[in-house]
Structure formats: structure tokens, C-alpha cells
Copies of this chain bind each other. A is one copy, B any other.
Amino acid sequence: MTSGVNRPRVVVVGAGFGGLSAVRGLRRAPVDTLVVDRHNYHLFTPLLYQVASALLDPSEIARPARALLRRIGNADLRVARVEGVDLEARRLHTSAAPVEYDYLVLAAGSVDNFFGIEGVEERGFSLKDLGGALALRNRVLRQFERAMWTDDANQRRRLLSFAIVGGGPTGVEFAGALSELIALVLRKDFPNLDIGAVRIALVEAGDGLLAAFAPRLRRAAQRALERKGVEVRVRTSVTRADETGLLLADGTHVEAGTVIWTAGVYGADLAGAVVARPASARRVAVGPTLQLAEHPEVFVIGDLAEVQQDGAPLPMLIPVAMQEGEHVARSIAAMTAGQALQPFRYHDPGIMATIGRNSGVAQVGPFKLSGFIGWCAWLGLHLIKIIGFRNRLIVLINWGWEYFRYDRPVRLIAAPRGAPDTAPPDGL
């Protein structure tokens, strides 16, 4: 594939928040944009934990990328895995065919980092993509079905024990949603099952949950989870995962039939393709213009980029990716017009997390909110800041509706034919 005769071609790797922001920002620029992603959808990752806890359907948090691109006249999509970048030839290597570019925006995001801890990669369920969330949903429901078959109290306890590793927003939100799925829904679905055998543990190596938040909010989040019956273990890390659960660095053992890993991510594999030595968390270090030093036509944004600001790297957050995407769009438009580039500066819109329904923590400028107020702030902030374009408002209203109804959770153990999860090794 070659680019058009007149207009430069901007290739954007990744249809996430960063990539799509760049594409939208370029919609009136004199360029053609081409998004390359291994999936045909954009994923609203903040609600992935709700798919994993059987509260939302995949299509409620994933939108076909082509539907989002329809209104953007100069954008198109190709579905393929990006396997490498030839910076000199200005060409991407993909699982389908090579793609040439004039400008390249790398927004490939991040993947789970298991830190090489024994047993975690093989046994841990992940909340990093839709496939992982669906596999986890099937697992949770299947463990309850398995528990119905056993008269052995020890075996039942093992089946119904879940250990979540990582006390960041993903771990906290999933722990809250899982405890509510069990308390509000599965308790009624399994009236003959001893729900008292269920155990949800949350393990965090740091000194508390939600490290990015103010101390008062962190304590509020922990109390909210504990009220829901989640056992919170802080200041201890995982040494090993096996079929009995987790072995912790302090020597204790956390029984768990299912381990969920949310304790770390690093840059996507693509990082190694563009720099000889990735920065911390395997990210690609870029300066304030987000360009590769030797290749000003290549921009790196989002989780894949390490951008220093005020002496520290910017966090891996959606607003960072979106603002970087918008900035890169302006930069490319400036380059096509022969103008100088502006440095990027991140404006923090606030951070937030929900702990189940009606409880949340939010930190927006000087405001530090928790409980129901915090949860309302979470909703409002999603409305105002995360949702960037008009159509998305409707999407959020739909999500809100689904979220409130709660009487129609999905809870299907379903997979395409041929998926291993339809027939696990024990035949159940």
C-alpha cells in the first residue's frame, strides 16, 4: 500500500483513546489518516471490569472503529497486528501487508507486566483487553457452577476464592464489582450454595490502595471495599501463584482458585521496534514535542510514551493519551504548513475510581470527594472530560442506563465455537 499522490499519509497505530484523538484532531488537516489496530473496535477500557463482572455486554463498552471513523472524511482503518517499524524506509510491518507512512503516530498502548513472577502469567486472569475480560467473566461464573457439584467444603472454598493483585483503580473497581455481583446477583442465582464460602482478597505491594489519590480518599476506598467483604492486604507482594492461590513475600498464603492480575503494565511490544533502549516500564522516551529524536516524523503518545513533566514521567492515563493525541494532530498540521511545533503540556482533569455502585473517590483540582458524592463526581467527570465527542454522550447515557438497571446482568458462559474456555480441561 502506498500513500496518495498529493496528501501526506498519517498512519496511527492503535484505535485507543490516544490514537482516535489524533485522528479526530486531523480531520480537517490536509492529510489522509489510516488507523491500524489488531481489533476492529475502540474499547472504553474504564468499564472493562464491568464486562468481567458480568454487568455489561462487550458491545456496550466496545464500539466498531469504523462506526467512529464514518464521520471523519479523511480517515480509514486497517485491521492487522503491527509487527515492526522500518524507520528509515518509513514503513510498518504488519501481519497482513507493509504500510507506508509520511507521518507515524505510535499509540499502541501497554500490556500486562507480570514481572516474571512464577505462575502469574500462566494462571493470572487479566483485565487489559476485551478477550481477557470475557475469559474472566466465564471463569467467575464457571467457578460458581463447579462449586455446585462438590460436597467437599475445602474444595468449594477454593473454587469460590478470588485473589486480585494490584490496588490501583482496576483492581479496586473489579474487587467492588465482583463482591456486588456475588452479593446482589449470584446469591439469588445460587440459593442452595453456601455464599459464605466466597472470599475476595485484594493484594497491594504499596502502603495502601489507589496510590495516586490523597490519603483520606485512599482510606475511604479501603473502608468501602472492606464493608463489601473484600479482604485488603497491603504492604506485601506476590512471590508465586499456583493452583492453591498466592504465596506472599511476608510468607503468608492467600487461598485462591482464581487469580486476577492488575498489578502492572508496560509499553506494548512495539516499543522495542523503535528504540534500542526503552525507558522505564518499557516506554519510549520522547521530548516535549512527542517526536522520536532522530525521526521527527514519528510521534509516540499514550501509555507507550514516556513524557517527563515537572521532573516525573506522566502517568499512564486516558486523559494523558487523549491530550497527547490532540497535541500531535496540531503538530502534524503545523508541519504540513511549515510552522514550528509547540511543546506538550498535560493539564490534569482529575482522577477517580468507583468502588462498586454508589461509592467512589474523586480528586479534581482542590476537591477531594468520596462515598456517594465521589461516585457522582466519577459519573460527571466521565461525562465532561473522558467523553470527547458529541456522539459519545449518547453512549455514556446508555452505559449509565445499563449500570443503573442492574437487574439484567449478562452472566453467560459463552465463547465462540473452538474457544478453549468452552471446554476446560476438567470437562465442565
Query: A: which residues have CB within 8 A of B?
Result: 1, 39-41, 57-59, 62, 64, 66-67, 70, 76-81, 95-97, 126, 129-132, 134-135, 138, 141-142, 145-146, 148-149, 188-190, 192, 410-422, 426-428
Contact = CB atoms under 8 A, between A and B. Distances in A.
Contact of A428 (B79, B132, B426): B79
A78 B149 contact: yes
Contacts of A39: 413-414
Contacts of A129: 417
B412 A126 contact: no
A427 B81 contact: yes
A422 to B, nearest CB: 6
B78 A417 contact: no
Contact of A189 (B66, B148, B190, B426): B66
A416 B412 contact: no
Contacts of A148: 77-79
B79 A418 contact: no
A63 to B, nearest CB: 8
Contacts of A192: 76
B40 A412 contact: yes
Contact of A417 (B67, B135, B410): B135
B130 A414 contact: yes
14 contacts: A58-B412, A58-B414, A59-B410, A64-B412, A76-B192, A79-B145, A79-B428, A81-B428, A95-B426, A96-B427, A129-B417, A130-B414, A131-B422, A134-B416
A189 B427 contact: no
Contacts of A76: 192
Contacts of A141: 40
B417 A418 contact: no
A413 B189 contact: no
A190 B414 contact: no
Contacts of A190: 66
B428 A189 contact: no
A40 B58 CA distance: 18
A77 B79 CA distance: 41
B417 A149 contact: no
A402 to B, nearest CB: 11
A58 B416 CA distance: 10
A427 B148 CA distance: 40
Given A66-B190, A421-B419, A414 B149 contact: no
